[in-house]
Amino acid sequence: PAPAWHRADGAAAVRHLLATGVRPDAVFCFNDTLALGALRALHEAGLRVPEDVAVAGFDDIEDGRFSVPTLTTIAPDKERIGRLAVEMLAARVDGDRETPPRDLTAPYRLTPRESTHPA
């Protein structure tokens, strides 16, 4: 596990994993920034992405479209998430403090790119 959500943390987590002797088929990172660090650490270890290890992240940040290889990601509907957050905050500001906790979902899509598909 990575202690924070930065490139260096993703790289350190993958280095640690590889140091244990584990050779994963795939790495799924909590966010794209961690995945970019993971790509770097796998490259430094001489492993090919995606031929040796597939890598995917979550966020669909712009940097993932320009990495080598480009990063497969889960693209959440950020607009919908923002609307839900504002609606919930507005309800709290208006005095609705008795609403019980609830599960909310927002759409997402898988965006396959080179980090999981050999060229």
Other CB atoms within a 10 A radius of the CB of residue 97 amount to 7
The whole-number pLDDT of residue 7 equals: 96
pLDDT reported for residue 81: 93
pLDDT tens, the chain, 119 aa long: 667 889 999 999 999 999 999 999 999 999 999 999 999 999 999 999 999 999 999 999 999 999 999 999 999 999 999 999 898 888 888 876 777 777 888 999 999 999 998 76
Give the per-residue pLDDT at 94.
Answer: 81
Domains of the chain: 7-76 (3.40.50.2300)
Q: Taking CA 40 as the corner, what is the angle to CA 34 and CA 43, rounded to the nearest 5 degrees?
A: 140
Phi, psi of 2 (to 5 degrees): -95, 135
Do residues 69 and 50 touch, judged by C-beta distance below 8 A?
yes
The answer to whether residues 24 and 53 touch, using CB atoms and an 8 Å cutoff, is: yes
